[in-house]
Amino acid sequence: PLVLGIETSCDETGIGIVRGRTLLANTVSSSMDDHVRFGGVVPEVASRAHLEELVPAIQLACATAEVELADVDAIAVTSGPGLAGALMVGVAGAKALASALGKPLYAVNHLAAHVAVDIVERGELETPTIALLVSGGHTEILLVRDIVDDVTLLGETIDDAAGEAFDKVARLLGLPYPGGPKISKAALDGDRTAIRFPRGLSTAKDRTPERGHRYNFSFSGLKTAVARWVETAHRQGHEIKIPDLAASFEEAVVDVLTAKAVLACQDTGVNRLLLGGGVAANSRLRELLAERTAAAGITLRVPPISLCTDNGAMVAALGAEVLRRGHPPTVNTFGADSSLTVDKVFV
């Protein structure tokens, strides 16, 4: 079946078209340039941009895929989590399109879609698998027994998400929003052993399951440590080497992420790991995860960078999986759910 996916949960208006598990088009238009001067995504601005971009993006995707809208068998849309107003534009557009075409509509979860996206690259997800989901708003470890019907949360951040930590530290260093890619670039020329920053929730006592945070993460202490380090350097008149600072910070984040993901695989006896989310575009994360999984005998799946950050392909990919399992379409009365949890894969 031909599935058209619509993604509008943040600043990207993404349209993806898949036929079965083959990706035919992935059109992404971002309003990021309009948010840069505010130092973060402004919900109202993002919603307006989606409204302007949605129809042209659908047209472009159809042209790229060389399909007519009338050929589409089903529409999939992100119904959460994300910015409420931004989600609503996609949801309203998807409802209108589905009813105009007389085609079924499937509302899907943005986070599960970040995990499902690799299906269009390397085919079916072998399960069970552990998934490390690292994005701008979320940092989670999941046990995936089935990407549609059985996703369990094993751990999550208790404060900042990994991407949020990158963005906040970038701001501290005077790098423009979104800071993740800029830190990552600066870090390429840096020494990651230059400064030893704290690794949150990685001491032995944090690994006690009874305390409820065996696979949880914490990045706000790290952010504070970087801020203190910068303050001290300023006060003492030391030169701040941005590449060293960026590399050392990045290493602290990536060290905990990879260590906990491997630990989750070992504890559950699952020897497969899947990486997903915008921070999965980070090259050091990809590198260290590859090293540590190889050493532990874990098979690693990492989507191509272009499919890690928000896009419509991930929504179409997950929608196609919901369809494949024969689930009924979403009832048309659903709405956007800005705090939808990952275990609720489709609505």
User: What does the binding site for Mg ion look like in residue numbers (CB under 5 A)?
Assistant: 10-11, 310
282 in a labelled binding site:
yes
Contact 86, 49 (CB under 8 A): no
Which residues contact Fe ion (rule: CB under 5 A)? 135, 310
Residues 42-81 that bind ligand ATP (CB under 6 A): 81
Least Å distance between CB 224 and ligand ATP?
18
Strand order in the sheet with 272-276: 150-156, 139-146, 129-134, 272-276, 299-301
**What span, in angstroms and rounded, lies between the C-alpha atoms of 269 and 263?**
10
Partnered with residue 5 across adjacent β-strands are 16, 76
82 in a labelled binding site:
no
- Classify residue 187 as exposed, middle or buried by CB count within 10 Å of its CB (0-12, 13-18, 19+): buried
> DSSP per residue over 41-66, as a string?
--HHHHHHHHHHHHHHHHHHHHHHHT
**What span, in angstroms and rounded, lies between the C-alpha atoms of 83 and 42?**
10
Least Å distance between CB 173 and ligand ATP?
13
Least Å distance between CB 163 and Mg ion?
9
Least Å distance between CB 88 and Mg ion?
17
Q: Of Fe ion, ligand ATP, Mg ion, none, which one sits near residue 29, judging by CB under 5 to 8 A according to partner kind? A: none
Q: Give the residue, chosen from 47, 129, 157, 184, that forms a contact with ligand ATP under the rule CB under 6 A.
A: 184
Per-residue x/- track, 120-149, ligand ATP (CB under 6 A) = ---------------xxxx-----------
Contact 31, 11 (CB under 8 A): yes
Residues 89-118 that bind ligand ATP (CB under 6 A): 110, 114
Q: Of ligand ATP, Mg ion, Fe ion, none, which one sits near residue 292, judging by CB under 5 to 8 A according to partner kind? A: none
**CA dist 253 → 130, 185, 282 (Å):** 19, 15, 11
Q: Of 160 and 310, which CB lies nearer to Fe ion in the complex structure? A: 310
136 in a labelled binding site:
yes
Does 82 sit near ligand ATP (CB under 6 A)? yes
137 in a labelled binding site:
yes
